[in-house]
Structure 1
Amino acid sequence: MSTIQVRAATLRDAKAIAQIHTAAMQAAYKGLVPDEHLKSISLDKRVAYWREAIEYCEPQVKVAIENDKIVGFVGFDRSRDEKTRPTTGEIWAIYIAPNHWNKGVGAALWDAAREGLHEEGCTNVTAWIPVRNERALKFHETAGFERELSSAKTAVIGGIKIEEIRVKRSLISGNR
Protein backbone atom coordinates (compact mmCIF):
# COMPACT_ATOMS: atom_id res chain seq x y z
CA MET A 1 0.00 0.00 0.00
CA SER A 2 1.31 3.40 -0.97
CA THR A 3 1.98 6.04 1.64
CA ILE A 4 2.12 8.78 -1.01
CA GLN A 5 -0.37 11.61 -0.65
CA VAL A 6 -0.93 14.41 -3.16
CA ARG A 7 -2.12 17.90 -2.28
CA ALA A 8 -2.14 21.39 -3.76
CA ALA A 9 1.19 23.18 -3.38
CA THR A 10 1.50 26.16 -1.04
CA LEU A 11 4.00 29.02 -1.18
CA ARG A 12 5.98 27.30 1.58
CA ASP A 13 6.57 24.39 -0.81
CA ALA A 14 8.39 26.46 -3.46
CA LYS A 15 11.90 25.78 -2.16
CA ALA A 16 11.36 22.01 -1.88
CA ILE A 17 9.81 21.98 -5.38
CA ALA A 18 12.79 23.92 -6.76
CA GLN A 19 15.23 21.53 -5.07
CA ILE A 20 13.47 18.49 -6.56
CA HIS A 21 13.23 20.19 -9.96
CA THR A 22 16.97 20.90 -9.94
CA ALA A 23 18.04 17.46 -8.65
CA ALA A 24 15.72 15.58 -11.02
CA MET A 25 16.84 17.64 -14.02
CA GLN A 26 20.49 17.07 -13.18
CA ALA A 27 19.90 13.31 -12.92
CA ALA A 28 17.55 12.96 -15.89
CA TYR A 29 19.52 15.12 -18.30
CA LYS A 30 23.01 13.86 -17.40
CA GLY A 31 24.61 12.93 -20.70
CA LEU A 32 21.89 14.70 -22.68
CA VAL A 33 23.10 18.24 -22.01
CA PRO A 34 26.56 19.47 -21.04
CA ASP A 35 27.49 19.02 -17.38
CA GLU A 36 28.40 22.74 -17.11
CA HIS A 37 24.81 23.61 -17.99
CA LEU A 38 23.39 21.21 -15.42
CA LYS A 39 25.68 22.57 -12.71
CA SER A 40 24.69 26.14 -13.56
CA ILE A 41 20.97 25.66 -12.88
CA SER A 42 20.00 28.40 -10.44
CA LEU A 43 18.05 27.20 -7.42
CA ASP A 44 17.08 30.80 -6.59
CA LYS A 45 15.53 31.30 -10.04
CA ARG A 46 13.64 28.01 -9.71
CA VAL A 47 12.32 29.03 -6.26
CA ALA A 48 11.12 32.36 -7.69
CA TYR A 49 9.48 30.63 -10.67
CA TRP A 50 7.61 28.09 -8.54
CA ARG A 51 6.55 30.72 -5.95
CA GLU A 52 4.98 32.74 -8.75
CA ALA A 53 3.38 29.66 -10.32
CA ILE A 54 1.85 28.63 -6.99
CA GLU A 55 0.69 32.16 -6.17
CA TYR A 56 -1.02 32.72 -9.52
CA CYS A 57 -2.02 29.08 -10.22
CA GLU A 58 -0.29 29.17 -13.57
CA PRO A 59 0.31 26.33 -13.83
CA GLN A 60 -1.62 24.59 -11.09
CA VAL A 61 0.91 22.79 -8.91
CA LYS A 62 0.43 19.66 -6.82
CA VAL A 63 3.02 18.00 -4.61
CA ALA A 64 3.50 14.36 -3.62
CA ILE A 65 4.20 13.83 0.07
CA GLU A 66 5.70 10.78 1.72
CA ASN A 67 6.41 10.75 5.47
CA ASP A 68 5.75 14.52 5.66
CA LYS A 69 8.36 15.24 2.96
CA ILE A 70 7.78 16.50 -0.57
CA VAL A 71 9.11 13.88 -2.99
CA GLY A 72 7.73 15.14 -6.30
CA PHE A 73 5.51 17.67 -8.03
CA VAL A 74 3.43 18.23 -11.12
CA GLY A 75 2.48 21.49 -12.85
CA PHE A 76 -0.47 21.40 -15.24
CA ASP A 77 -2.92 23.73 -16.94
CA ARG A 78 -4.43 24.42 -20.33
CA SER A 79 -2.15 23.78 -23.27
CA ARG A 80 0.32 26.55 -24.11
CA ASP A 81 0.51 25.40 -27.73
CA GLU A 82 -0.95 27.73 -30.34
CA LYS A 83 -4.11 26.62 -32.13
CA THR A 84 -5.11 24.04 -29.53
CA ARG A 85 -8.66 23.72 -28.33
CA PRO A 86 -9.51 25.13 -24.90
CA THR A 87 -10.32 21.54 -23.87
CA THR A 88 -6.68 20.50 -24.28
CA GLY A 89 -4.62 20.48 -21.10
CA GLU A 90 -0.88 20.17 -20.72
CA ILE A 91 1.49 18.68 -18.18
CA TRP A 92 3.93 21.61 -17.92
CA ALA A 93 6.31 19.77 -15.60
CA ILE A 94 6.42 16.53 -13.63
CA TYR A 95 9.51 15.77 -11.57
CA ILE A 96 10.23 13.30 -8.82
CA ALA A 97 13.20 13.26 -6.43
CA PRO A 98 15.66 10.80 -8.00
CA ASN A 99 15.71 8.61 -4.88
CA HIS A 100 11.93 8.15 -5.35
CA TRP A 101 11.97 7.17 -9.02
CA ASN A 102 10.03 3.98 -9.82
CA LYS A 103 8.15 4.03 -6.49
CA GLY A 104 4.70 5.17 -7.67
CA VAL A 105 5.18 8.89 -7.05
CA GLY A 106 4.84 9.78 -10.74
CA ALA A 107 1.66 7.73 -11.05
CA ALA A 108 0.13 9.46 -8.02
CA LEU A 109 1.01 12.88 -9.47
CA TRP A 110 -0.32 11.92 -12.90
CA ASP A 111 -3.63 10.77 -11.30
CA ALA A 112 -3.94 14.14 -9.51
CA ALA A 113 -3.15 16.11 -12.68
CA ARG A 114 -5.59 14.06 -14.74
CA GLU A 115 -8.32 14.68 -12.17
CA GLY A 116 -7.53 18.41 -12.03
CA LEU A 117 -7.54 18.77 -15.82
CA HIS A 118 -10.79 16.82 -16.06
CA GLU A 119 -12.36 19.19 -13.49
CA GLU A 120 -11.21 22.10 -15.70
CA GLY A 121 -13.16 20.61 -18.61
CA CYS A 122 -10.19 19.22 -20.51
CA THR A 123 -10.79 16.18 -22.70
CA ASN A 124 -7.19 15.70 -23.89
CA VAL A 125 -3.77 16.31 -22.40
CA THR A 126 -0.34 16.80 -23.91
CA ALA A 127 3.23 17.06 -22.67
CA TRP A 128 6.52 18.00 -24.35
CA ILE A 129 9.31 15.50 -23.72
CA PRO A 130 12.97 15.65 -24.81
CA VAL A 131 13.36 12.94 -27.45
CA ARG A 132 16.46 11.54 -25.74
CA ASN A 133 14.83 11.35 -22.30
CA GLU A 134 13.82 7.69 -22.50
CA ARG A 135 12.74 7.57 -18.83
CA ALA A 136 10.19 10.39 -19.34
CA LEU A 137 8.95 8.95 -22.63
CA LYS A 138 8.46 5.53 -21.05
CA PHE A 139 6.63 7.06 -18.07
CA HIS A 140 4.20 8.95 -20.31
CA GLU A 141 3.65 5.97 -22.61
CA THR A 142 2.89 3.79 -19.57
CA ALA A 143 0.33 6.44 -18.57
CA GLY A 144 -1.37 6.06 -21.96
CA PHE A 145 0.23 8.90 -23.92
CA GLU A 146 1.15 8.41 -27.57
CA ARG A 147 3.92 10.19 -29.44
CA GLU A 148 2.86 12.73 -32.05
CA LEU A 149 5.73 12.15 -34.47
CA SER A 150 4.88 15.19 -36.61
CA SER A 151 5.27 17.48 -33.56
CA ALA A 152 9.05 17.11 -33.20
CA LYS A 153 10.76 20.46 -32.69
CA THR A 154 13.94 21.98 -31.38
CA ALA A 155 13.58 23.95 -28.16
CA VAL A 156 16.26 26.20 -26.72
CA ILE A 157 16.44 25.75 -22.97
CA GLY A 158 19.07 27.75 -21.16
CA GLY A 159 20.96 28.27 -24.41
CA ILE A 160 21.02 24.52 -25.13
CA LYS A 161 19.16 23.09 -28.14
CA ILE A 162 17.01 20.09 -27.22
CA GLU A 163 14.87 18.03 -29.58
CA GLU A 164 11.38 17.57 -28.13
CA ILE A 165 8.30 15.63 -29.11
CA ARG A 166 4.73 16.14 -27.96
CA VAL A 167 2.85 13.22 -26.44
CA LYS A 168 -0.93 13.21 -26.15
CA ARG A 169 -3.75 11.19 -24.64
CA SER A 170 -7.48 11.38 -24.01
CA LEU A 171 -8.95 12.25 -20.62
CA ILE A 172 -12.36 10.79 -21.42
CA SER A 173 -13.60 8.29 -18.82
CA GLY A 174 -12.51 4.75 -19.42
CA ASN A 175 -9.09 5.82 -20.65
CA ARG A 176 -6.75 5.36 -17.71
Structure 2
Amino acid sequence: MITLHKPARHHEDSLIDPPTQCHVRTACIDDVPDVASIHVRSWRAAYVSILPAEYLNGLSVARRTEVWTRVVKQGKPNLILAVKGSSALGFAAWGASRDADATQSVAEVEACYVDPDHWRTGAGRALFQVLKRAAEEQRFQRVTVWVLEENYPARRFYEAHGFRHEDRKRQLTIGGQSVEEHRYVCDIG
Protein backbone atom coordinates (compact mmCIF):
# COMPACT_ATOMS: atom_id res chain seq x y z
CA MET A 1 0.00 0.00 0.00
CA ILE A 2 1.31 3.44 -0.91
CA THR A 3 0.39 6.49 1.07
CA LEU A 4 1.79 9.87 0.18
CA HIS A 5 2.30 12.32 3.02
CA LYS A 6 3.29 15.94 2.89
CA PRO A 7 7.00 16.00 3.66
CA ALA A 8 8.28 18.18 6.45
CA ARG A 9 11.41 18.63 4.35
CA HIS A 10 12.42 17.59 0.84
CA HIS A 11 14.01 14.28 1.79
CA GLU A 12 11.37 12.83 4.10
CA ASP A 13 8.48 10.53 3.18
CA SER A 14 9.77 9.79 -0.30
CA LEU A 15 8.98 6.79 -2.41
CA ILE A 16 11.66 5.09 -4.47
CA ASP A 17 10.90 3.70 -7.89
CA PRO A 18 13.62 1.03 -8.26
CA PRO A 19 13.76 0.95 -12.09
CA THR A 20 14.53 4.67 -12.37
CA GLN A 21 16.19 5.30 -9.03
CA CYS A 22 14.27 8.54 -8.66
CA HIS A 23 12.07 9.43 -5.74
CA VAL A 24 8.43 10.41 -6.15
CA ARG A 25 6.88 12.26 -3.27
CA THR A 26 4.17 14.74 -2.45
CA ALA A 27 5.28 18.24 -3.40
CA CYS A 28 5.59 20.86 -0.67
CA ILE A 29 5.64 24.65 -0.78
CA ASP A 30 9.44 24.66 -1.14
CA ASP A 31 9.03 22.73 -4.42
CA VAL A 32 6.83 25.33 -6.09
CA PRO A 33 9.66 27.21 -7.88
CA ASP A 34 10.88 23.93 -9.41
CA VAL A 35 7.35 22.92 -10.43
CA ALA A 36 6.73 26.33 -12.04
CA SER A 37 10.02 26.22 -13.92
CA ILE A 38 9.42 22.66 -15.16
CA HIS A 39 5.91 23.65 -16.24
CA VAL A 40 7.13 26.56 -18.38
CA ARG A 41 10.21 24.77 -19.79
CA SER A 42 8.24 21.68 -20.75
CA TRP A 43 5.47 23.67 -22.46
CA ARG A 44 8.03 25.62 -24.47
CA ALA A 45 9.73 22.40 -25.60
CA ALA A 46 6.71 20.10 -26.06
CA TYR A 47 4.41 22.59 -27.77
CA VAL A 48 6.94 24.44 -29.95
CA SER A 49 5.33 23.24 -33.18
CA ILE A 50 1.78 23.22 -31.79
CA LEU A 51 1.22 26.60 -30.12
CA PRO A 52 2.21 30.12 -31.22
CA ALA A 53 5.81 31.10 -30.37
CA GLU A 54 4.65 34.44 -28.98
CA TYR A 55 2.39 32.66 -26.51
CA LEU A 56 5.08 30.17 -25.45
CA ASN A 57 7.68 32.91 -25.05
CA GLY A 58 5.24 34.85 -22.88
CA LEU A 59 4.77 32.03 -20.39
CA SER A 60 5.80 33.24 -16.96
CA VAL A 61 7.46 31.25 -14.19
CA ALA A 62 6.20 33.91 -11.76
CA ARG A 63 2.56 33.36 -12.82
CA ARG A 64 2.98 29.58 -12.69
CA THR A 65 4.50 29.99 -9.21
CA GLU A 66 1.33 31.76 -8.07
CA VAL A 67 -0.86 28.97 -9.45
CA TRP A 68 1.18 26.12 -7.97
CA THR A 69 1.46 27.91 -4.62
CA ARG A 70 -2.36 27.94 -4.42
CA VAL A 71 -2.50 24.26 -5.38
CA VAL A 72 -0.04 23.22 -2.67
CA LYS A 73 -1.78 25.34 -0.03
CA GLN A 74 -5.22 23.97 -0.96
CA GLY A 75 -4.01 20.40 -1.32
CA LYS A 76 -6.06 19.97 -4.50
CA PRO A 77 -5.30 18.59 -6.92
CA ASN A 78 -2.73 16.17 -5.52
CA LEU A 79 0.73 17.27 -6.60
CA ILE A 80 3.62 14.80 -6.76
CA LEU A 81 7.22 15.46 -7.68
CA ALA A 82 9.91 13.20 -9.15
CA VAL A 83 13.37 14.00 -7.83
CA LYS A 84 16.83 12.54 -8.15
CA GLY A 85 19.31 13.78 -5.60
CA SER A 86 18.57 17.49 -5.26
CA SER A 87 17.16 17.87 -8.80
CA ALA A 88 13.46 18.06 -9.56
CA LEU A 89 12.79 16.03 -12.71
CA GLY A 90 9.04 16.37 -13.22
CA PHE A 91 5.64 16.59 -11.58
CA ALA A 92 2.08 15.40 -11.90
CA ALA A 93 -1.14 16.94 -10.62
CA TRP A 94 -4.17 14.71 -10.26
CA GLY A 95 -7.47 14.29 -8.46
CA ALA A 96 -11.10 13.39 -9.04
CA SER A 97 -12.12 13.86 -12.66
CA ARG A 98 -13.56 17.24 -13.57
CA ASP A 99 -15.37 15.84 -16.64
CA ALA A 100 -19.16 16.14 -16.63
CA ASP A 101 -19.58 12.48 -17.64
CA ALA A 102 -17.26 11.09 -14.95
CA THR A 103 -18.39 8.97 -12.04
CA GLN A 104 -16.85 9.15 -8.57
CA SER A 105 -14.59 6.23 -9.49
CA VAL A 106 -12.70 8.25 -12.14
CA ALA A 107 -9.53 10.21 -11.43
CA GLU A 108 -7.94 12.69 -13.81
CA VAL A 109 -4.36 13.65 -14.52
CA GLU A 110 -4.65 17.43 -14.71
CA ALA A 111 -0.99 18.00 -15.54
CA CYS A 112 2.08 15.84 -16.04
CA TYR A 113 5.32 17.41 -17.15
CA VAL A 114 8.96 16.38 -17.05
CA ASP A 115 11.77 18.88 -17.50
CA PRO A 116 13.00 18.58 -21.11
CA ASP A 117 16.54 17.85 -19.86
CA HIS A 118 15.11 14.71 -18.24
CA TRP A 119 12.83 13.39 -20.97
CA ARG A 120 13.26 9.66 -21.58
CA THR A 121 14.98 9.08 -18.23
CA GLY A 122 12.12 7.22 -16.54
CA ALA A 123 10.87 10.18 -14.49
CA GLY A 124 7.50 10.20 -16.28
CA ARG A 125 7.15 6.46 -15.80
CA ALA A 126 7.92 6.82 -12.09
CA LEU A 127 5.31 9.56 -11.72
CA PHE A 128 2.66 7.41 -13.39
CA GLN A 129 3.47 4.32 -11.36
CA VAL A 130 3.06 6.24 -8.11
CA LEU A 131 0.02 8.17 -9.36
CA LYS A 132 -1.81 5.01 -10.43
CA ARG A 133 -1.07 3.25 -7.13
CA ALA A 134 -2.16 6.26 -5.08
CA ALA A 135 -5.36 6.64 -7.13
CA GLU A 136 -6.14 2.96 -6.68
CA GLU A 137 -5.52 3.30 -2.94
CA GLN A 138 -8.12 6.08 -2.91
CA ARG A 139 -10.58 3.67 -4.56
CA PHE A 140 -10.49 5.15 -8.05
CA GLN A 141 -11.00 2.57 -10.79
CA ARG A 142 -9.94 4.62 -13.82
CA VAL A 143 -7.64 7.49 -14.62
CA THR A 144 -8.17 9.86 -17.55
CA VAL A 145 -5.94 12.46 -19.16
CA TRP A 146 -6.58 15.02 -21.91
CA VAL A 147 -3.80 15.35 -24.51
CA LEU A 148 -3.39 17.83 -27.33
CA GLU A 149 -4.12 16.09 -30.63
CA GLU A 150 -0.77 17.07 -32.15
CA ASN A 151 1.28 16.10 -29.11
CA TYR A 152 2.22 12.72 -30.55
CA PRO A 153 5.11 12.00 -28.14
CA ALA A 154 2.76 12.44 -25.16
CA ARG A 155 0.09 10.30 -26.80
CA ARG A 156 2.65 7.51 -27.37
CA PHE A 157 3.81 7.87 -23.76
CA TYR A 158 0.30 7.44 -22.37
CA GLU A 159 -0.40 4.49 -24.66
CA ALA A 160 2.85 2.85 -23.53
CA HIS A 161 1.68 3.24 -19.93
CA GLY A 162 -1.67 1.52 -20.30
CA PHE A 163 -3.86 4.37 -21.49
CA ARG A 164 -6.15 3.93 -24.47
CA HIS A 165 -7.71 6.58 -26.66
CA GLU A 166 -11.41 7.17 -26.04
CA ASP A 167 -13.73 8.57 -28.63
CA ARG A 168 -13.85 11.89 -26.75
CA LYS A 169 -12.51 15.19 -28.06
CA ARG A 170 -12.82 18.82 -27.09
CA GLN A 171 -11.82 22.15 -28.61
CA LEU A 172 -9.81 24.71 -26.67
CA THR A 173 -8.26 28.05 -27.45
CA ILE A 174 -4.70 28.42 -26.19
CA GLY A 175 -2.68 31.48 -27.06
CA GLY A 176 -5.35 32.57 -29.51
CA GLN A 177 -5.12 29.30 -31.41
CA SER A 178 -7.82 26.66 -31.59
CA VAL A 179 -6.54 23.21 -30.62
CA GLU A 180 -8.16 19.85 -30.10
CA GLU A 181 -7.62 17.56 -27.13
CA HIS A 182 -8.26 13.83 -26.98
CA ARG A 183 -9.17 11.93 -23.83
CA TYR A 184 -7.25 8.84 -22.82
CA VAL A 185 -8.29 6.39 -20.11
CA CYS A 186 -6.54 3.72 -18.06
CA ASP A 187 -8.31 1.13 -15.91
CA ILE A 188 -6.56 0.71 -12.56
CA GLY A 189 -8.99 -0.97 -10.19
Q: Deviations over 1:117-174 (max 9, x none)?
A: 112210001000000001110110000101112x1111123433211000001012xx
Residue 91 of structure 1 aligns to a residue in which SS?
strand
Partner in structure 1 of residue 157 of structure 2: 139
Residues 46-55 or 124-133, more deviating: 46-55
Residue 169 (structure 2) pairs with residue 152 (structure 1): yes
Distance in structure 2 (CA, Å) of the matches to 1:171 and 1:2 = 21
Instruction: Work out the percentage of aligned pairs sharing the same amino acid.
Output: 29
Alignment partner of 1:73 out of 62, 70, 91: 91
Residue 136 of structure 2 aligns to a residue in which SS?
helix
Alignment partner of 2:184 out of 167, 171, 175: 167
Q: Contact (CA 8 Å) 1:124, 1:169: kept in 2 or not?
A: yes
Distance in structure 1 (CA, Å) of the matches to 2:175 and 2:141 = 32
Q: Give the deviation of 1:83 after TM superposition.
A: 2.6
Distance in structure 1 (CA, Å) of the matches to 2:75 and 2:175 = 24
Partner in structure 1 of residue 16 of structure 2: none
Query: Structure 2 regions of 5+ residues with no counterpart?
Result: 1-18
Q: Deviations over 1:103-123 (max 9, x none)?
A: 100000001111121122100
Partner in structure 2 of residue 110 of structure 1: 128
* Matched ranges for 1:7-156 at <5 A: 7-149=25-167, 151-156=168-173
TM-score normalised by L of structure 1:
0.94
Aligned residues: 171
Partner in structure 1 of residue 12 of structure 2: none
Partner in structure 1 of residue 6 of structure 2: none
Query: Structure 1 regions of 5+ residues with no counterpart?
Result: none
TM-score normalised by L of structure 2:
0.87
User: Deviating runs (4+, > 6 A) in structure 1?
Assistant: none
Q: Give the deviation of 1:56 after TM superposition.
A: 1.0
